[in-house]
A and B are shown apart, each in its own frame.
Chain A
Amino acid sequence: MEFFNNHNKLFTTALLLFLFLTIMVCIMPAMTNQRINAALPNAIPLSEDAIKGKALYISNGCVACHTQQVRSIEMDNVWGERPSVAADYANNYRTDFWRNTATLMGTERTGPDLANIGQRQPSADWHLPHLFNPRIVVKESIMPAYPWLFTIKDKLEKGDTEVNIPEEFMKGRKGKVVATEEALQLVAYLQELKQAKLPNGTPEPEFLYPKKPGLANTSKPGAEPEMDGAMLYSNNCQSCHQANGEGLKGAFPPLKGSKVVLDDNPELMLDIIMNGYNAQDQFGEMPAVGTNNRLKPAEIAAIMNHERTSWGNNSRKVTAAEIEKLIKSLE
């Protein structure tokens, strides 16, 4: 065919077709989406420190393993309270003259999603040792260690943030581990990664593909489905209090043998779970896990029972109804 034997016509046609499709599926949608989306009114812009922390997040390639998107499917509910919406990304602008807008959504979840990490894990006392070596707090983690964000000093100076590192992770080095400004900036960024509330009256997008109720439980109508306390503990509590319930010396208190946990009256324990706790100098601040993660009374009861009966703890089990009543009275 004549058309195919004319290089001008052939290559121009191919190029035009490609350009046309590019404009239709890439450039136009990209421009439309950056125009029509604005940050949510409730969204708090990143602080100066957090902006620097974001730059560190980018330059160390954290996006290779961490996503920042809660997909609109039920299985992603653990990462955020609602599916991410376009407005969540509207504040993400070009970094500087040399660098493009940061890619945050990510395509790999080798590590946990971070879209709502500021809510899920607000404690700098957790983040700092975790950055020094993730295996301090999560034994099975395969995340790289970032010791270069810390310095080791013989003596603390004024304003230094000391990080409590267990002996085995010091690799024979002596001295106090101090977080550098960069480490604090990175943690500030992580702490500020929170899902903003949608404006009043805006319905939250739904999580699709909801789990079907388990068949085993429907066989006994009326019976309360048995919650897996160990799994809930592992999802919500373990990163600080550890699988053995012993916590981390100088950072997170042990639950094993804890007076609060063993108390016959579960009220104080429930209060701490629901509202957090920050009273002791020697331990980090505890977030309001129960409220933040929207745990249901039955789930809280399961977690409490797991804690009250594991690692040698031997206290009475609480019921979901009891917890539900107590939660009401706490409010």
Chain B
Amino acid sequence: MKKSNVVKVGIVGAALWIPSHLTLYAAISGNSSDDYSSILLLTTVAVLVGILIFSALYLYSKTKQISEVMKRRIGTNDGRFSKYIETFDSKQIDQYFKFKSKEGIKGGQGNLLTTLLLTTAMCLSANTASSQSSRSTGSLLTEGGILITLVLILVPIAAGIILMIVKIRQVLKVYQNKENQEEGERLAEYLKEIDGKELENALLKRKHALDYGLNHNELTGHLAAEDDKGLLLDVSNSAILPVVSAKKRATKRPAIDPELSRLILWFLGSATFWLLFGTTVGEYLGIKFVAPDVDQVSWLSFGRLRPVHTNAVFWGWASMAMLGLGYYVVPRVSNIPLVSIKLGWWTLYLINASVILGSVFLMAGINNGGGEYREYIWPIQLLFGIGLLLTLINFLRTIARRTTHEIYISNWYIVASVMFALVISIVAYIPTWQNGLGETIVQGYYMHQGVGMWFMLFTLGIVYYFLPQQLNKPIYSYSLGILAFWAQILFYTVIGTHHFVFSSIPWSLQTIAIVGSVGMVIPVAAGTANFLLTFNGAWYKLPSSYTLPFFLVGVIFYFTGSLQGTAEAFRSTNLIWHFTDFTVAHSHLTMYGIICFFLWAGIYALVPRLSGKEAPQITVGAHFWLALIGLLFYTIPLMYGSTLKGLMWIDGKPFIDSVVLMAPYWLWRAIGGSLMWLSHIFFAYNIYKMLTGSPPVDVREAAIAKLNQSYATTEPEL
């Protein structure tokens, strides 16, 4: 179990480290050697300043210790001495009694002033040194020679400071030892002088307590354990070497309305189908990068299939899974039944119809104009829109009838996301503002709001319900959730046009988008902190749960993936990464790493509640690891390769060279994609097992059944 934790931490670390590493790599190699050396200098200066701050803190704490020692000399003795006596260990008590019985005893000064003077001098010199180095940070000269000289000057200064600290430490240690020796002598004097039965009794009692030890058979025995409360379950009498660690089984919960349960399971079942369909298409597209002539059929050509993949996983898989989970969460946290299950079924039909029709139309070459995620022509997207409207009505009416006073934060996110999804669809499909550049501006807005306002908000709402539920503790901070909610609306809405940096849309609009992207740090940091702090104190549950790892991966990618988006929005990074496969890697890190993992977490938490059946833990584990490893194989080579590609473009190398360069990275992408695809097969199998699977025959159940049977057959004879 420890080992698997280590592995997990390792992977998490890699996930955090690699994007930042790549960012740094890009930042360095994207610029000329001048910038390189200035980054080097900046790092060195930062290290030196760090050393100075550390030494200042160290000296401060040392001075504090000294003043403690000083107080000791001046203060009265009694309280202090009795404290020493209370903390005697068993051996010391023994020695004391030995001495008392024998009666026999024995009893200097230091130069504090010089030490103090020395310390002050050191502090002063440290201060001047730090002010010097900070000044050099301020005026970052660009001449290489000056930079090197500055570093060369700063290095010996830092070395000198470290040496001084070592010296001071020695002086202080000598002084302190001397002081302690004297204090010991004073204590001895005190011990010699006092007498009293009370103290001796107390010491005897203490010694007795200290000497207490277990006899090492308290927890074993041949008798069966007394277990009045029925707390011991799954007792294993023979230790076996497990291949994978066993996880806790889902807790049995009161059954929910079977009608609602059926609706939700249909949503999740459809979602699973669309996941399989959409990612099979995606997998095939990934293969086409490596083998472009794998087929030459018009309906399967890359340009037509690509939107089939994106739309199927968006509107088919993720949206249906979200709605399925939402139909559970919204009435549950409102503490009343869903207003209309019938409307829910209509949503299900409409969305399925829209994805089926949309996919066929796209493959036939009929699309809305090529704008990403609005490739379905309006009559088809309208079906989806009506489905959402029905859901919105259903949710709002349910919430209006809630029996709780407050509206739980999950419902904030969920209802807002459905409202916003409707707004952006209307904005994206109304033709009034879509000529010329208007189309581009709307496209930038729409594609990003689709991701951030529909998928992200809804999924966050789901996490705010299921994460605390699975950890069995309340969300860390309601306020952070509220902050993240408003900040997300404020910043996310304006960032759409960061997909068109350096294009001919107005420069000011590009700048607003970049600023908004930076603002996204607030909701992302607030959300991540909230989730991690909810985990805090319950980390021990992670290894024994098969849903929590999904949540954790989702939280990690929520942080890294979202902030990667911020980093990509800058003009400097746009130079390197825009138009490359970096965008593809980023969208998979987020849509897959965040949204899919959260949705899977929710599904594995919910379905056993509805169906009463669980998936085999081994296939849940296979799903988790294949999806995670596949995602890393998919994204990391793509990010690395596309960084090189961008740099190549900047260098003005022939375009076709950048295509050749990408070949191995596209192969890695196909490999990672295959692992992800395989994990979905496991997921579909797990869903199948949770819906229809029959558990293995339980001996006890079988015996009881047999008894009942024989009872039934023997009864007539009696």
Q: Which of A84, A99, A144 has the most CB of B within 10 A?
A: A144
Q: Which chain B residue shows the least CB distance to A69?
A: B503
Closest partner residue, chain B, to A147 (CB atom): B296
- B404-419 near A? 1/0 per residue, CB < 8 Å: 0111000010011001
B104 interface residue (CB < 8 Å to A): no
Contact A33 B493 (CB under 8 A): no
Residues from chain A with a CB closer than 8 A to the CB of B33 are 215
List A contacts of B396 (CB < 8 A): 7, 11
B182 at interface by CB-CB < 8 Å: no
The interface bits of chain A over 179-217 (1 if a CB of B lies within 8 angstroms of the residue's CB, else 0) are 000000000000000000000000000001101100100
Q: A4-B407, A148-B298 are in contact. Are A22 and B656 (CB under 8 A)?
A: no
Select which of B306, B442, B500, B653 is within 8 A of A105 by beta carbon.
Answer: B500
In the complex, chain A residues whose CB is within 8 Å of the CB of B402: 7
Asked whether A61 lies within 8 Å of B649 as measured between CB atoms, the reply is no
Assess the B445–A59 pair: CB atoms within 8 A: no
Q: CA–CA, A24 to B303, complex, Å?
A: 33
Tell me, in angstroms, the Cα distance from A186 to B505 when the chains sit together: 27
Instruction: Say whether B58 faces chain A, with CB atoms less than 8 Å apart.
Output: no
Nearest Cβ distance between residue A146 and chain B, in whole angstroms? 7
Within 8 Å by CB of A107, from B292, B372, B423, lies B372
Interface string of B166-198 (1 = CB under 8 A from A): 000000000000000000000000000000000
In the complex formed, the residue of A with least CB distance to B374 is A100
Instruction: List the A side residues contacting B482 at CB < 8 Å.
Output: 4
Q: Are B654 and A108 within 8 A (Cβ)?
A: no
Q: Does B38 contact A (CB under 8 A)?
A: no
Which of the 9-residue segments B123-131, B313-321, B432-440, B526-534 touches chain A? B432-440
CB distance from A53 to the nearest CB of B (A): 14
Interface size of B in residues (CB-CB distance below 8 Å): 94
Inter-chain contacts of A141 with B (CB < 8 A): 292, 656, 659
A-side contacts of B365, CB under 8 Å: 59-60
- Report the bound CA distance from A101 to B502 in whole Å: 21
Q: Given contacts A33-B506, A60-B301, A142-B289, is CB(A75)–CB(B652) below 8 Å?
A: yes
- A151 interface residue per 8 A CB criterion: no
| A-side contacts of B505, CB under 8 Å | 29, 33, 86
Partner of A99 from B377, B407, B659 at Cβ < 8 Å: B377
B377 touches A98 (CB 8 A): yes
A327 interface hit (Cβ, 8 Å): no
In the complex, the answer to whether A34 meets B579 with C-beta atoms within 8 Å is no
Q: A47 — which chain B residues lie within 8 A by C-beta? A: none
**Distance, CA A94 to CA B655, complexed state (A):** 32
What residues make up the interface of A, taking CB atoms closer than 8 Å to B? 4-5, 7, 10-11, 14-15, 17-19, 21-22, 24-27, 29-31, 33-34, 37, 58-65, 67, 69, 71-73, 75-76, 78, 83-86, 88-95, 98-105, 107-110, 112, 133-135, 138, 140-148, 208-209, 211-212, 215, 231, 234-235, 238
Could you list 30 A-B pairs, sorted by A, with CB under 8 Å? A5-B407, A10-B407, A11-B416, A15-B419, A17-B489, A18-B493, A22-B423, A22-B493, A25-B509, A26-B496, A29-B505, A29-B506, A33-B506, A34-B437, A58-B370, A60-B301, A69-B504, A85-B504, A86-B437, A98-B379, A100-B371, A101-B369, A101-B438, A102-B439, A103-B439, A105-B500, A112-B655, A142-B289, A212-B32, A238-B656
- Interface of B toward A, CB cutoff 8 Å: 32-33, 288-289, 292-293, 296-298, 301-304, 306-307, 365-372, 374, 377-379, 396, 399-400, 402, 405-407, 412, 415-416, 419-420, 423-424, 427, 429, 431-443, 445, 453, 482, 485-486, 489-490, 493-494, 496-497, 499-500, 502-506, 509, 512-513, 575, 578-581, 583-584, 649-650, 652-657, 659-660
Q: A18-B493, A60-B304 are in contact. List 20 more A-B contacts (CB 8 A).
A: A10-B412, A11-B416, A14-B416, A18-B419, A25-B493, A25-B494, A26-B496, A30-B434, A30-B437, A59-B365, A59-B366, A61-B367, A61-B370, A64-B370, A71-B578, A72-B504, A94-B434, A95-B369, A143-B292, A212-B32
